[in-house]
Amino acid sequence: MGVKLTKALLLVFLYLKFSLCNGVSINVCRETERKALLDFKEGLKDPGGRLSSWIGEDCCIWRGIQCDNQTGYVVQLDLGNKRPLHDMFQYGPRSEPLNGEINPALLGLKHLQYLDLSMNFFGGIQIPAFIGSLAQLRYLDLSCAGFSGLVPHQLGNLSHLHHLDLSNPFYSSWNKLFIVGSYWLSNLSSLQYLNLNFVDLSKAPDWLESLNTFPLVSEIYLSNCNLEIPDSLAHVNFTKLRVIDLSSNNLHSVVPSWLFKLTSLESLDLSANAFKELIPSAIGNLTSLRVLNLANNRVLEGGVPLSLGNLCMLNSLDLSVNKYLHGDLNELGEVFSGCIKDSLEILNWAISELTGHFPDWLGNLKSLKMLNLYVNLFYGPFLQFRLHSLKKLDISRNTLNRSVPVNLGQLYPKLEFLDFAYNNLTGVLTEAHFAGLAKLQHLGFSANEFRVDLGSQWVPPVGLNRLAMWNSKLGPGFPSWIQKLENLSVAAFSNAGISDTLPGWFWNFSKNLQLVDLSYNDIKVSQFPAYLEYLLLSSNKIAGRIPETLCYLKKLPALDLSKNQFIGEIPYCWNHFL
Ligand SMILES: *[C@@H]1O[C@H](CO)[C@@H](O)[C@H](O)[C@H]1NC(C)=O
Ligand SMILES: *[C@@H]1O[C@H](CO)[C@@H](O)[C@H](O)[C@H]1NC(C)=O
Ligand SMILES: *[C@@H]1O[C@H](CO)[C@@H](O)[C@H](O)[C@H]1NC(C)=O
Ligand SMILES: *[C@@H]1O[C@H](CO)[C@@H](O)[C@H](O)[C@H]1NC(C)=O
Ligand SMILES: *[C@@H]1O[C@H](CO)[C@@H](O)[C@H](O)[C@H]1NC(C)=O
Ligand SMILES: *[C@@H]1O[C@H](CO)[C@@H](O)[C@H](O)[C@H]1NC(C)=O
Ligand SMILES: *[C@@H]1O[C@H](CO)[C@@H](O)[C@H](O)[C@H]1NC(C)=O
Ligand SMILES: *[C@@H]1O[C@H](CO)[C@@H](O)[C@H](O)[C@H]1NC(C)=O
Ligand SMILES: *[C@@H]1O[C@H](CO)[C@@H](O)[C@H](O)[C@H]1NC(C)=O
């Protein structure tokens, strides 16, 4: 037994040794590169200790480093501080941005293929020109890293680059990247992905010709770049392009015709410009298109071309914030009977002065998952089509003036989000209206003209987490069915005609309660919560001393207790958040 084990161990040992000698799994750092990395680290400031693992002999196991497993050279340096943009300024213990300077010692990493310094904060320094000498780079991400000034043309030397991201969404006057003349860009002949969002290209009028030289490019992002866009392009060469984003450039011209020759295009974003003329019928040539965003222009003034119906792959169409004043929406029936009717999953046509009854062709869009028609002038009946895939329906802020159909659950069994607030809907809203809407999470019906009759025995869709019922006649009793909603996070019942005592369970029936608005009722409140983010209780009957409990609501950024009947002093602890 013992002998066998020793033999086995010996074999393992020999195998390991053999592997190492053959260089198959060598993964030990080169001394020159280790020194280069330490010099580079020396230049950085690292308040969060993100580089605390950068000690010891084997730099290949340091955080963010990868070495080639054959040669041991450092091939990857990933110090990106990746997190969602909306969390940009929420630093956790291990995500504080690096700052300081970028030491040219980096050039010691001659085999570096991948460099990511994104989402750090280099305080407005220029992108170092020497990065252009890291000749092996395939991947370069310097986005959101606090670089500013002229983008060095030396980057044009990176002829192997596939992926270049210099996007800079949190720019300011002292922290703004710009490009002067884009001739050098055309040198990046291997480029497949280019993101220059928020980089000023107003001094690079040749940008389109430069990009047109990339034979392989598949994604180009040029949002918020101060672009001028040429209408013509002699020969469209970048035909592998799948994604182009030209949004938010204040483009005034007609929608340029060369776009419609990019027949591989899957996503086209022209939103937030000032394109005036109608959508050209050539849009029908983009038969691979899946996402089309024309929001916030005036492209609909001339109508919607029939050829839009040919887009058999189109999933997502955003026409919101465009005026469509040319009368009868029913005339679009022909467009929406093309194959677009089977593919469309998202239709966003909010804030566009659409009027009349909901057009019948909406009922043909059987794949529809999300329909946004809020802030328009639709009147007449509620939306009443069988749309069995629909998950989100927002028809709030129109002037619908009939009653709510009782078979919502049969029409839209998959609904997760339903909002018909701020209309002129009439009749009585009862439990029957919500039967079968088992997946509902958001329900908004504030400010209509119907009476609400939801009995205390009602079992609401149990997954509801947001209820918005301002200006709805829910009272006079406190709606006790709320107690069944264990995941409720928003409870907004301002001016709901409630004249009652707040039940004892109210502050702990849900673990998720974040926003409570009970203002403009006649509610007697004697107990207060231990944790909430927003609490609005103005104009109620809260009498007596302001409760000390409230001292523990340290995260509370909004608290309104005005127009009640408090006596005594405001508790001392409120200095924390007032
Ligand atoms: C070496 O790296 C390559 C890619 O970098 C990988 O495909 C391969 O599996 C690795 N080999 C070993 C032995 O780890
Ligand atoms: C450009 O690349 C060449 C060859 O790799 C190199 O000799 C030259 O120094 C580089 N130029 C710059 C400005 O980095
Ligand atoms: C373009 O690349 C060539 C070699 O491939 C190099 O000599 C030249 O300096 C580069 N131009 C720029 C502007 O980087
Ligand atoms: C585009 O392709 C045409 C035809 O192949 C060629 O003549 C032209 O030089 C190319 N243009 C650019 C900017 O690469
Ligand atoms: C659209 O395609 C048709 C047929 O292939 C072609 O004749 C027309 O020129 C194209 N339009 C544009 C603007 O590319
Ligand atoms: C609904 O509103 C429209 C447009 O204002 C009006 O013509 C119609 O008579 C109203 N219908 C009802 C039932 O109130
Ligand atoms: C619709 O309701 C709004 C308030 O929600 C009201 O101002 C308006 O007069 C109503 N319109 C009709 C036609 O009833
Ligand atoms: C409440 O949320 C939790 C966690 O997301 C989930 O597991 C649970 O099923 C939810 N409860 C209901 C009734 O939807
Ligand atoms: C619920 O909250 C009330 C008031 O804050 C408290 O008196 C009661 O003990 C709580 N019940 C549970 C089960 O936590």
Can you give the residue ranges of every domain in the chain? 230-350
- 31, 316, 323 from 57: Cα distances, Å: 8, 52, 65
**Residue found under tokens 């007449």:** 380
- What's the gap in Å between 213 CA and the centre of ligand 3? 14
pLDDT at 546: 54
Lowest mean pLDDT among 148-152, 414-418, 451-455: 451-455
| Gap from CA of 427 to ligand 7 centroid (Å) | 15
Residue 323's pLDDT is 85
Residues 457-516 have pLDDT tens digits of 999 999 999 999 999 888 899 999 999 999 999 999 888 999 999 998 998 899 888 888
**Of 146-155, 171-180, 375-384, 559-568, where does mean pLDDT reach its minimum?**
559-568
Q: How far apart are CA 539 and CA 574, in angstroms?
A: 21
Instruction: Determine the pLDDT at residue 445.
Output: 95
**C-alpha 351 to ligand 6 mean position (Å):** 21
CB 251 within 8 A of CB 226: no
Query: Which among 501, 452, 504, 514 has a CA at the least distance from the CA of 483?
Result: 504
217 Cα–ligand 4 center, Å: 15
* CATH class assigned to 230-350: alpha beta
Separation of alpha carbons 441 and 98, rounded Å: 40
Query: Which residue did the predictor score with more confidence, 11 or 409?
Result: 409
Ligand 2 near 135 CB (within 6 A): yes
Atom 14 of ligand 5, residue of closest alpha carbon: 261
pLDDT at 569 over 70: no
pLDDT for the residue numbered 55: 94
- Which secondary-structure segment (H or E) carries 33? helix 31-43
Name the pLDDT band for 94 (thresholds 50, 70, 90). Answer: low
Q: Is the CB of 281 under 6 A from ligand 7?
A: no
172-206 residue pLDDT tens: 666 789 999 989 999 999 999 999 999 999 999 99
Ligand 8 site, residue 462, Cβ cutoff 6 A? yes
**Distance between Cα 79 and ligand 2 center (Å):** 25
Name the residue among 35, 22, 24 with its Cα closest to residue 74. Answer: 35
Residue 542's pLDDT is 64
The four Cα atoms 240, 246, 251, 256 give a dihedral, to 10 degrees, of 20
Residue pLDDT, tens place only, 336-361: 999 999 999 999 999 999 999 999 99
Token code pair at residue 532: 């909430």
Q: Does the beta carbon of 159 lie inside 6 Å of ligand 3?
A: yes
Question: Across all residues in the chain, what is the average pLDDT?
Answer: 86
**Is the C-beta atom of 250 inside 6 A of ligand 3?**
no
Nearest alpha carbon, ligand 8 atom 1 = 487
Indicate if the pLDDT at residue 534 is higher than 80: no
Whether residue 209 has pLDDT greater than 60: yes
Report how far ligand 3's centroid is from the alpha carbon of 161 (Å). Answer: 13
- Compute the distance from residue 561 Cα to the ligand 7 centre, in Å: 30
What pLDDT, on the 0 to 100 scale, is given for residue 567? 56
Q: Of all helices (H) and strands (E), which one includes residue 431?
A: none
Q: What are phi and psi of 91, to 5 degrees?
A: -90, 125
Query: Quick check: 3 pLDDT over 50?
Result: no
Q: Could you write out the DSSP letters of every residue in 302-365?
A: T---GGGGG-TT--EEE--S----SS-GGGGGTGGGSTHHHH--EEE--SS--EESPPGGGGG-
Task: Report the nearest-CA residue for atom 7 of ligand 8.
Answer: 487
pLDDT of residue 283 exceeding 80, the answer is: yes
Say what percent of the chain tops pLDDT 90: 66
261 lines ligand 5 (CB under 6 A): yes
pLDDT at 302 over 90: no
Best mutation site among 375, 397, 399, 401 for ligand 7, i.e. most ligand atoms within 8 A of its Cβ?
399
- What pLDDT is stored for residue 551 in this prediction? 47
Q: Mean of the pLDDT values across residues 51-60? A: 93
Mutate to test the pocket of ligand 7, among 376, 378, 424, 470 (most ligand atoms within 8 A of CB): 424
Taken in order 168, 169, 170, 176, the sign of the CA dihedral is positive
What is the value of pTM for the model shown? 0.86
Strands 44-45 and 99-100 turn out to be: antiparallel
pLDDT at 311 over 90: yes
CA–CA separation, 37 and 51 (whole Å): 11
At 556, is the pLDDT very low, low, confident or very high (cuts 50, 70, 90)? low
Q: pLDDT confidence of 566, banded at 50, 70, 90?
A: low
Give residue 382's pLDDT band: very low, low, confident or very high (50, 70, 90). Answer: very high
- What is the pLDDT confidence band of residue 552, given thresholds at 50, 70 and 90? very low
Residue 254 has pLDDT above 70, yes or no: yes
Phi, psi for residue 481 in degrees, rounded to 5: -65, -20
* Lowest pLDDT segment from 318-332, 490-504, 545-559: 545-559
